[in-house]
Amino acid sequence: MMIKRSFFGLAKPRFAYESANPAKPEKISMPKIVTLFCKTPYRGNGLLAVGEKVKTGQKVLLYGDSDAYIISSVTGTVSSVSSYIGDFGKSYTAITISASAQEETEDVFGKDPAEISLENAKKFLAFSPGAPALEGFSESDKSKIKTIVVCGVDTDLLMFTQQYVMKNRTEDISKGISILKHITGAESVVIAIPRADNSDSKPCGMKNAGAVGGASGAEIREIRSEYPAALPHMIAKEVLGNVVTAGKTWEEIGISFFSAEAVASVGQAFRSGRVPVNKVVTLIKKDMSKVLVEVRLGTPIRDIFNAFDVTLNEKDRIIIGGPLTGASVYSEDFPVQPDTDAIMVQDAESISAVSDYPCINCGECVRICPVNVPVNMLVRFCEAGKYQDAADMYDLYSCIGCGLCSFVCVAKIPIFQYIRLAKYELERMRLANLESEEAANA
Ligand code: SF4
Ligand code: SF4
């Protein structure tokens, strides 16, 4: 992370995205087990029981209430199906598969072009690397989403997963864009890449993006190389000229965002007939050195630490994601998910402790907020659990989730965590109200 100015000066500090040209990812050996998460509680929607054999690419579980499947990333035997409690007490289903040495792979698509459909993409690719965001598209209303944005830059600092994919998987990305245009009916596809500070240090992906755009008919747009320019709200505003009204969904606005890896997964899947199962991840070590790793989806992060000699001591912290928007996990058994772009390990000594100090009204959080949220007031209401007031009076829904306010808070208040919790609780209440209304009308 490059910090170009002092934190506490009058001007806002600048954070630059990675512009390194990463080497090819190092593949780690096949894991002994993989754990696949479904982000909803288990509702008896397993397609295979404990003890049953499964091939790589085979369907194992329906993804929540949708028609999408969780796909096995290894060949082996289902060893358990259990609950997992994640952030804010949210309940997931965890399916664990013991991998066998002999791999057999199942084809899910044939060679018939008719099989290249939105229905098949939604069913089979929701769990593929990059987690393609297909749920907003509908076969019956193809005019809903007009623009697809392919993000060829990572959304947080210190990582270069998407920049690597953008540079090295040109063919799959071109194919993926053509397929997405065909199956979704989107009118335009825009590839967002970081703007180079100077011509000698062009971030990886720049030259190749031109080739991808030419082959697929997508438009290339450069974004500022400063964080948080690659976050969806900033791309919508600065690249597409679309100021997003707080609280509106991307579906309502008509834009859908895909990472470069998600688009490559779509291209690879329909080209090969198989669901991709390998994920690229940036490992950020305690000394801030970085390495790109290629692993099977569901690999426990312990396997990655073992392969790269990362030793965890008491009170060290594991973060899934980048330094500003990532979330802590407390077990090395946590598996690599389709959207796990980075794993960061922080040494206990370098972690600034969360304190009990109250807000001193210094205004740093307000000054750094890219969308002018009155953060000092917002955090008071979130802390007190007054979520609706936080939304009604202090712009909770204008927050684009960049995490900069937490980073600069001199009182070490976990502002971003409070904001996340507030949004999560309001959404939970909205769904509960919807359910009771539906039950009353039934
Ligand atoms: S996370 Fe903080 S700084 Fe970022 S948009 Fe939200 S309130 Fe503003
Ligand atoms: S929340 Fe933190 S950064 Fe914001 S005004 Fe209070 S002490 Fe300063």
Tell how strand 76-85 and strand 53-54 pair up: antiparallel
Closest CA to 276 of 47, 109, 162, 442: 109
Closest ligand 1 atom, CA of 402?
4
Ligand 2 within 6 A of CB of 365 = yes
> Is the per-residue pLDDT at 6 higher than 50?
no
**What's the whole-number mean pLDDT along residues 353-379?**
90
Ligand 2 within 6 A of CB of 153 = no
Residue 353 has what pLDDT?
64
Using pLDDT thresholds of 50, 70 and 90, give the confidence band for residue 3. very low
CB 400 within 8 A of CB 419: no
Residue 245 alpha carbon to ligand 2 centre in Å: 26
Q: How many CB atoms lie within 10 A of CB 92?
A: 17
DSSP, residue by residue, 61-91: EE-TTSS-EEE-SSSEEEEEEEEEE-GGG-E
The token pair at 293 is: 């790793």
The rounded distance, in Å, linking the Cα atoms of 23 and 25 is: 6
Residue 424 has what pLDDT?
92
The token pair at 239 is: 């690249």
The residue whose C-alpha atom lies closest to atom 6 belonging to ligand 2 is 359
Q: Rounded to a whole number, what is the distance in angstroms from the first to the last CA of the chain?
A: 54
Ligand 1 within 6 A of CB of 373 = yes
Ligand 1 within 6 A of CB of 324 = no
Mutate to test the pocket of ligand 1, among 226, 402, 413 (most ligand atoms within 8 A of CB): 402
**What's the whole-number mean pLDDT along residues 138-143?**
80
Ligand 2 within 6 A of CB of 377 = no
Residue 44 has what pLDDT?
67
CB 139 within 8 A of CB 119: yes
Residue 228 alpha carbon to ligand 2 centre in Å: 20
Ligand 1 within 6 A of CB of 371 = yes
Eight-state DSSP code of residue 143: T
Using pLDDT thresholds of 50, 70 and 90, give the confidence band for residue 8. very low
- pTM score, two decimals? 0.91
Amino acid at 327: A
CB 60 within 8 A of CB 81: no
